[in-house]
Amino acid sequence: MDKDITLATYNVHAGVGTDGRFAPERIVNVLREINADVIALQEVEQHRIGDHDLLDYLAAETGLTAIAGPTLLRESRHYGNAMLIKLPVLDVDRIDLSLPGREPRGAIDAILGCNGLRIRVVATHLGLSPGERRKQVSQLIASFESHESADISVLTGDLNEWFLWGRILRWLRAHFQPTPDLATFPSRFPVFALDHIWLTPVNRLSKMEVHTSKLARIASDHLPLKAIVDISPA
């Protein structure tokens, strides 16, 4: 019986690296390096790669189960959030975080099973304006407060908050208790902690780190953030 799992969040920049090349095979190899049980992805644009779109390609190459959460529906291809998962998926919902006049945003809300535990993972990519993010985080916190049936609850993704003293981070620390703020952007010389993993109960967090391989520094403009989570039976 496994005692822990690895959760990760990764803004893949639609498969376009810091050299400006669309090279989804690099994203695949970074995902293999991470070897996570649950990976939240942002900026998944459905480019065609042979017979697959980008998400299907990543799932096929890694052997993981894909959950799509597109937020921007285009005639040619969609764009948005996704998850790649090794664990059994018990339920999936999608939360609409869109606000009038702004780019559509959302979150994937998945209930996973492992070691007899229910693990809730909410994966998101928040808006660009402070007011937009405040409304979105208020909605997400309300969702967590109204659904407390999970043994472990996780909020993860690219929160687009540049300042560690930002209001939404203060709210999230108050709800989840603090977790490390680690710089993930820009990938070549990370300065800003745009990507986060929050969880409750926080004592389930064994370790959190940024994946800083040579390949990760070029595959996307963000570095992956990963956490080791204790899933010993309660």
Q: What is the pLDDT of residue 192?
A: 98
Contact 223, 187 (CB under 8 A): yes
In the Cβ-directed half-sphere of 162, how many Cα atoms lie within 13 Å? 5
Tokens read off for 185: 């952007």
Model confidence, pTM: 0.94
Helix (H) or strand (E) holding 26: helix 24-34
Write out the CATH class of domain 4-230: alpha beta
Cα 153 off chain centre by: 14
Q: Say if strands 4-11 and 225-230 run parallel, antiparallel, or are unpaired.
A: antiparallel
Q: What is the pLDDT of residue 2?
A: 76
- Model pLDDT for residues 103-140, shown as the tens digit of each residue: 889 999 999 999 999 999 999 999 999 999 999 999 99
pLDDT < 70 positions in the chain: 1, 46-52, 70-79, 234
Q: What is the pLDDT of residue 26?
A: 98
Neighbouring CB atoms inside 10 A of 163's CB total 11
Q: What is the pLDDT of residue 70?
A: 62
